[in-house]
Amino acid sequence: MSRTRADRTGSSDRDENSEFTFADVSVVMGTYNEEAAIGNVLSDVERVTDGEAEVVCVDGSSDRTPEIARGHGAQVIEQEPQGYGVAVREAILAPERPVVVTTDCDDTYPMEQLPEFLDAINAGYDVVSGDRLYHGADAMPAFNRLGNHLFALLASALMGERVHDTTTGMRAYRRAVVEGIEWTENTGLSAELLIRPLMRGYDVREVPIEYRERAGESKLDPIEGGAAIARSIVTVCLEERFR
Ligand SMILES: Nc1nc2c(ncn2[C@@H]2O[C@H](COP(=O)(O)OP(=O)(O)OP(=O)(O)O)[C@@H](O)[C@H]2O)c(=O)[nH]1
Ligand SMILES: [Mg+2]
């Protein structure tokens, strides 16, 4: 999926020869009543990155999620719950480290694959996107799985380039990407975070990831959320095509 770097605004915050380590990585997430999952997610990040990655949680919880996060040394930014994208937009823009990794705080995403994501950034990619559907995503509810396949087909048709998982929550970005684009979507932010960089010529790579069953309750209504995501895909693709 490599493309020409049409309008990149600086691909790296350090010299050509030095590689990013986990000390250059912020793992960020929206957290909304995730006390069943957050302990595992943050322990995994700590273990896999040797405690080097910093963690930022934008939190709207009324349960013990923020206490657990602080107990793991995470930075917690409090925010009234306003939806996925409002939280995640704040989360990606908060840190200052040169590599930003998003994840959901529901224990579905494999933090064990963080080294692979960092390797791909060090290989020169601007965005590394976890493709849950490659391995089948058996742990995903069938309706969501079908929807995610259809979103990827819709986005691929509108972009003229095949992508396989537009709604994944696990990605790594160079900071220049998250800062260089204005983000407008809420429930559809995850798709927007893939589509706008791709259509602007950034180097984007999908990597297959394992996907686990969710711990705790979903915050997404499959029908309403699905319709919002489809609308975001169409809007964002058209905006990018005619910008
Ligand atoms: N702060 C904050 N976080 C949110 C909000 N809505 C969702 N989140 C978080 O965003 C992440 C994604 O939400 P999920 O419920 O996992 O949505 P999803 O992945 O589409 O749905 P599942 O497939 O059921 O996991 C989770 O970590 C949520 O806690 C919100 O309004 N505020
Ligand atoms: Mg989730």
Predicted confidence (pLDDT) per residue in 53-65, tens digit: 999 999 999 999 9
pLDDT > 80? residue 9: no
Ligand 1 pocket at CB < 6 A: 29-32, 34, 58-60, 79, 81-84, 87, 104-106, 108, 144, 169, 214, 218-220
Atom from ligand 1 closest to the CA of residue 108: 25
Q: Determine how many CB atoms are found less than 10 A away from the CB of residue 122.
A: 15
Our mutation pick for probing the ligand 1 site, out of 44, 104, 212, counting the most ligand atoms within 8 A of Cβ, is 104
Question: How many of the other CB atoms lie within 10 Å of CB of 3?
Answer: 14
Residue 231 lies in a domain: yes
Judge whether 148 lies within some domain: yes
Q: Which helix (H) or strand (E) holds 80?
A: none
Query: How much is the pLDDT for 63?
Result: 98
Tell me the mean pLDDT in the region 4-23: 60
CA distance 61 to 162: 37
The structural domain count of the chain equals 1
In a domain, 13, yes or no: no
Range of the domain at 98: 22-241
Rounded CA-CA distance 176/125 in Å is: 12
Gap between the Cα atoms of 98 and 107, Å rounded: 25
Note whether residue 210 is domain-resident: yes
Q: What is the CATH number of the domain that holds 40?
A: 3.90.550.10
Ligand 2 is an ion; residues with CB less than 5 A from it? 104, 106
Residue 1 lies in a domain: no
Q: What is the mean pLDDT of the chain?
A: 94
pLDDT of residue 16: 57
How remote is the CA of residue 87 from the centroid of ligand 1, in Å? 9
